[in-house]
Chains A and B, each alone.
Chain A
C-alpha cells in the first residue's frame, strides 16, 4: 500500500467518523480549504497515523509545508 493509499483510507475513515461527506481523493486533492471538511486537527490525526504506519517522521525537525494529498504522501515515501 502506498502512502497515498493510506491517506485515502485514513481520510475516508476520519471524514466518515465525523459525519462529513467523502468522495474521490487523488494526489491533487487539496487537504485544507479543499472539497472536504478537513481541519488542522484532522490533519494532525492523519499525520500521527501515517507516522505510526510508515515509521517515518518527516516533521521531526520542523513543519514542512504541504497542500495536497500527493504532497503529504511524498513526505511519507510516495
Chain B
C-alpha cells in the first residue's frame, strides 16, 4: 500500500496514550513495530492479534539501560533482514510537586526514565542503523513544559528540555548519513501524564490556546507519521511544537 514495506520502527511506551496511538497508526501505515513498555494489556494483545509478526513487544523499564540494549537486540533479531528505519522515544513519566519538597529519588527517576533511557534507546538503535549508512529517523517526544515550564513540573520539564537539546546535538552527528533527529513537543493533552492538572487548570489552558482546545493524540500522531516519511528527509534538529498556538 505504501512506501514502507520492510521498514520497522522502535516505539517506547506503547501500552497506553500516545505510544499506543502511535503503534496503532504506524502498523496501519505498514511499518513493523517493536514496542516496549512496563505493562502489557488488552490493547497490545489486540495489536498482536491483528498484525502478527509485524508487532513485537517486550517488557522494558526505561530506567534499566541493560534491558533497553537487550530489547533492541531482540527486536533486531525478530525483524531479521528488514530495515530498522527509526526510533520514536515516547516513553515517559511525570513527577509533580514543588521542587523544594520533591524527593530526590523522584528527581533521579524522572531524569533516568525520560532522558537517560531515551538517549540509550537511541544509542542502541543508532549502533544498528549507522552500519547500513542509510537514512533513518529518530523522534523524541518532548513537551511544551520543556520550553515554557509549568509550576510543579520542574524535574519533568528539565528532562524534556534535555531531550530537545539531545535532538539538536545528535542531528549534527548523524546528519551526514541521512538520519534525521527531531523533537515533537505536544501541548497539554488529556492523558495519564496530565492527570496532575485539575479541570480549572485545563480550562485555563484551553482559554489561552488560540485554537481553543487541548492537544489530541491525533495531532501528534499525524506529525510523527509525516516526520517518519521520506518527505520529511530535510527536517532535522528541530523541536516541533504542537499546541494550538498556546506558546506562540
Q: A-side interface residues toward B, CB under 8 Å?
A: 14, 17-18, 39, 41, 44-45, 48-49
Among residues of A, the one whose C-beta sits closest to the C-beta of B174 is A41
One of B127, B174, B176, B177 near A48 (C-beta < 8 A): B127
A41 contacts across to B, CB distance below 8 A: 130, 173-174, 176-177
- Shortest distance in angstroms between B172's beta carbon and chain A's nearest beta carbon? 10
A-B contact count (CB 8 A): 17
Can you list, as one digit per residue, whether each of B64-79 has a CB less than 8 Å from chain A (1) or not (0)? 0000000000000000
Asked if B48 CB lies within 8 Å of chain A CBs, one says no
Q: Does any Cβ of A come within 8 Å of B133's Cβ?
A: yes
Give CA–CA (A75, B176) in the complex, Å: 27
Given A41-B130, A45-B131, 15 additional A-B pairs, CB 8 A = A14-B133, A17-B133, A18-B133, A39-B176, A41-B173, A41-B174, A41-B176, A41-B177, A44-B130, A45-B130, A45-B133, A48-B127, A48-B130, A48-B131, A49-B131
Q: With a CB–CB cut-off of 8 A, which chain B residues contact A44? A: 130
CB-CB < 8 A to A48: which residues of B?
Answer: 127, 130-131
- Residues of B174-209 contacting chain A, CB below 8 A: 174, 176-177
Scan B153-168; emit 1 where CB is below 8 A from any A CB, else 0.
0000000000000000
Q: Give chain A's interface secondary structure class.
A: helix
**Measured between alpha carbons, how far is A49 from B130 in the docked complex, in Å?**
10
* Chain B positions within 8 Å of A45 at CB level: 130-131, 133
Residues of A within 8 A of B174 (CB): 41
Cα of A49 to Cα of B127 in the assembled complex, Å? 9
A48 CA / B52 CA spacing, docked (Å):
32
Give min CB distance, B106 to chain A, whole Å. 29
A10 CA to B55 CA in the complex, in Å? 33
Q: CB-CB < 8 A to A18: which residues of B?
A: 133
Q: What's the Cα separation between A45 and B174 when bound, in Å?
A: 11
Output the nearest chain B residue to A49 by Cβ-Cβ distance: B131
A78 and B174 CA atoms in complex are apart in Å by: 29
On chain A, the residues within 8 Å of B130 by CB distance are 41, 44-45, 48
Bound: A18/B133 CA distance, A: 9
Chain B residue at minimal CB-CB distance from A13: B133
Chain B residues, CB < 8 A from A39: 176
Residues of B within 8 A of A49 (CB): 131
How many angstroms from the CA of A41 to the CA of B174 in the assembled complex?
Answer: 7
- C-beta contact mask, B105-139 vs A, less than 8 Å → 1, else 0? 00000000000000000000001001101000000
Q: Which residues of A contact B127 (CB under 8 A)?
A: 48
Q: Which residue of A lies closest to B133 (CB)?
A: A17
When chains A and B are docked, how far (Å) is the Cα of A44 from the Cα of B177?
Answer: 13
B135 to chain A, nearest CB (A): 13
CB distance from A61 to the nearest CB of B (A): 15
Residue numbers in A under 8 Å from B133 (CB-CB): 14, 17-18, 45
B78 CB → nearest A CB, Å = 18
